[in-house]
Chains A and B, each alone.
Chain A
């Protein structure tokens, strides 16, 4: 089984709808990164969470890390076609070095 599970694997929404993507870890998270990827391109950093209960926002995207530091959610409010892409969560499971372990990604499609 994966150390980091993302759900759903794909999501199709109508423009203007809200949506949530979840990322669940089998180990304690020392850091949780959210990235966005457009097809054929590199990864764009969205946010990083470290503390239990932490919440960060950037424009219409909000990410939270739960108190037990084993689950994170990414919430998009009033989705737009520009939000479409692949969302990846990446976890740091150790403080000794910064290897990122990734979830399998969530493909988001936003219909105008």
Chain B
């Protein structure tokens, strides 16, 4: 019963490098989300997806891209990493709007530092 799996857990990038944060869920959830959490702040939505092939921007999408080719996977791509992207990134999934009485399921996070 894996839930939402994120890889890697930690990563240090140099300015201008690119990388992909992986997110996989095995609960057959339609909805998937990427959030970032900065120190002392709550979570900000980067991108979300309501199903395979459908993605949309959240509050803070600049500098990121996503794709959703399957129900299970929702990778987040960082192009030309900048220090402002230093953060903890969380992937989450749910059945849909207000259906999941047990809440959205979150991954354990990826701690990214851009130097």
Residues of A within 8 A of B (CB): 4, 6, 9, 30-31, 33, 35, 40-43, 45, 48, 50, 88, 90, 92, 94-105
Contacts and interface: CB of A to CB of B under 8 A. Distances in A.
B42 A104 contact: yes
B45 A42 contact: no
A92 B98 contact: yes
Contacts of A88: 42-43
Given A35-B103, A42-B107, A43-B106, A95 B97 contact: yes
B90 A95 contact: no
B61 interface: no
Of the listed residues B41, B42, B108, the one surrounded by the most CB atoms of chain A closer than 10 A to its CB is: B42
A20 B92 CA distance: 27
Interface of A is mostly: loop
B45 A101 contact: yes
A14 to B, nearest CB: 24
Nearest to B109: A42
Contacts of B100: 48
Contact of A92 (B44, B97, B106): B97
Interface of B: 31, 33, 35, 40-45, 48, 50, 58, 90, 92, 94, 96-109, 111
A50 B98 contact: yes
Nearest to A96: B97
B90 A33 contact: no
B100 to A, nearest CB: 8
B111 to A, nearest CB: 8
Given A42-B109, A103-B42, A104-B40, A98 B96 contact: yes
Contact of A97 (B42, B96, B101, B108): B96
A35 B45 CA distance: 16
B106 A42 contact: yes
B31 A97 contact: yes
A103 to B, nearest CB: 5
A45 B103 contact: yes
Question: Which of B97, B105, B108 neighbours the largest number of chain A CB atoms within 10 Å of its CB?
Answer: B97
A72 to B, nearest CB: 14
